[in-house]
């Protein structure tokens, strides 16, 4: 069996480093899909970029595609400063305004006609895309706004990965994630290695959230139960598939076409026909979801976004 390693899921927490941003900036199937969607939607329109990041990737791409103006929002102060520098370097500083802070705190002079974001997590909803984008839809965007991405899904399957080890180079990053979460309870660990080769069941969909002005906005809290028929498995794998536009191929975490997302692994030995329950509930910060997974009615994984003072134990 090929060796697998574990490393912490980072997108939900303010612990991004240059290595993460370098991965996001890499040319891949995801970046090509975003570029194509912006070339189709942005010309002549006002664009909102939510979570623009260190390189203001999609803000610059929208300006290059001919957007009338781009408002690029970034919550992390250091990333916002780097985004301003990237915009200046791009030559589009007159077309792009970088706004520092949470999207919920922003007011735009005009409503956006296109909203682009990449606040899609390793579990699709984990970075708080649903409440954040629903708020943008209500306050910052036009009724007919074009949404990029169009849909984000989370898949689940049983896998056999043996006994994966913690990537030793990630220990410092692990400490930063634990500090940001307030504890290690329900820590989300991603699987490094050829995860597609470890599947021992067909995949099922546990999240499917459509961002489209023609339909009702997705709801934050939900539960679903799916059936998996597995060979001998060491655990379950959750991963993201993103339809950047309403037509065209999905970008799949497992197909090797992007480094933007990684599959989340949880050990839960199982075999045969099992019922897996997946639920998400918005945490007390009003943005990020907490997750619960059951197998045949028994809780196997409880993963809050952060450990609150009221729930923390020795």
Beta bridge partners of 58: none
Rounded to whole angstroms, how far apart are CA atoms 224 and 210? 16
Rounded to whole angstroms, how far apart are CA atoms 67 and 38? 9
What is the residue range of 209's domain?
Answer: 5-12+152-303
| 160, 290: one domain | yes
Tell me, what CATH number does 73's domain have? 3.40.50.150
Q: Are strands 112-117 and 46-50 parallel, antiparallel or unpaired?
A: parallel
Tell me if 11 sits within 8 A of 122, measured CB to CB: yes
Query: Across the chain, where does the E strand assignment appear?
Result: 5-8, 46-50, 69-74, 96-100, 112-117, 141-148, 151-159, 165-166, 189-192, 204-210, 222-243, 251-252, 264-282, 289-295, 298-303
Is 310 among the domain residues?
no
Residue 199 Cα to chain centre, angstroms: 22
Instruction: Give the neighbor-by-neighbor strand order of the sheet with 141-148.
Output: 96-100, 69-74, 46-50, 112-117, 141-148
With a cut of 70, list the residues of the chain below it in pLDDT: 1-2, 308-314
> Per the structure, how many domains does the chain have?
2
Q: What is the pLDDT at residue 2?
A: 63
Q: What is the pLDDT at residue 78?
A: 95
| 159, 292: one domain | yes
Final residue belonging to a domain, choices 151, 186, 216: 151
Tokens of 179: 């500090």
Rounded to whole angstroms, how far apart are CA atoms 210 and 203? 19
Q: What is the pLDDT at residue 259?
A: 86
Tell me, what CATH number does 291's domain have? 2.70.160.11
DSSP H or E segment with residue 94:
none
Final residue belonging to a domain, choices 92, 125, 151: 151
Rounded to whole angstroms, how far apart are CA atoms 184 and 119? 23
* Residue 134 φ/ψ, nearest 5 degrees: -65, -40
Which pTM was predicted? Answer: 0.94
Q: What is the pLDDT at residue 183?
A: 85
Q: What is the pLDDT at residue 19?
A: 81
pLDDT tens profile 161-191 = 999 998 888 888 899 999 999 988 778 999 9
Residue 14 Cα to chain centre, angstroms: 13
Q: What is the pLDDT at residue 314?
A: 45
Is 192 among the domain residues?
yes
Q: What is the pLDDT at residue 290?
A: 97
Rounded to whole angstroms, how far apart are CA atoms 304 and 283? 7
């Amino acid at each position: 069996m090929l060796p697998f390693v574990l490393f912490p899921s980072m997108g939900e927490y303010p612990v991004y480093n240059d290595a993460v941003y370098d991965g996001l900036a890499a040319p891949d199937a995801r970046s090509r899909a975003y570029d194509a969607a912006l070339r189709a939607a942005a010309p002549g329109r006002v664009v909102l970029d939510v979570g623009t990041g260190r390189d203001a990737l999609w803000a610059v791409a929208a300006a290059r595609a001919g957007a009338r103006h781009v408002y690029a929002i970034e919550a992390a102060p250091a990333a916002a400063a780097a985004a301003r520098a990237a915009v200046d370097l791009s030559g589009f500083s007159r077309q792009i305004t970088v706004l520092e802070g949470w999207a919920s705190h922003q007011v735009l002079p005009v409503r956006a006609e296109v909203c682009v974001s990449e606040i899609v997590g390793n579990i699709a909803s984990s970075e708080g895309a649903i409440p954040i984008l629903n708020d943008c839809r209500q306050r910052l965007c036009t009724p007919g706004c074009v949404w990029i991405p169009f849909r984000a899904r989370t898949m689940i399957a049983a896998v056999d990965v043996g006994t994966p080890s913690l990537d030793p180079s990630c220990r410092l990053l692990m400490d930063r994630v634990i500090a940001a979460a307030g504890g290690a309870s329900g820590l989300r660990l991603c699987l490094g290695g050829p995860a597609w080769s470890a599947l021992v069941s067909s995949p099922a969909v546990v999240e499917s959230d459509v961002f489209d002005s023609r339909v009702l906005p997705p709801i934050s809290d939900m539960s679903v139960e799916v059936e998996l028929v597995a060979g001998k498995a060491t655990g379950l794998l959750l991963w993201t598939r993103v339809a950047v536009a309403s037509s065209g191929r999905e970008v799949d975490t497992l197909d090797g076409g992007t480094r933007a997302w990684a599959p989340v692994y949880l050990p839960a030995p199982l075999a045969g026909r099992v019922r897996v329950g997946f639920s998400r509930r918005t945490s007390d910060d009003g943005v990020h979801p907490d997750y619960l997974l059951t197998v045949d009615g028994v809780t196997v994984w409880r993963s809050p976004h952060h450990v609150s003072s009221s729930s923390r134990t020795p």
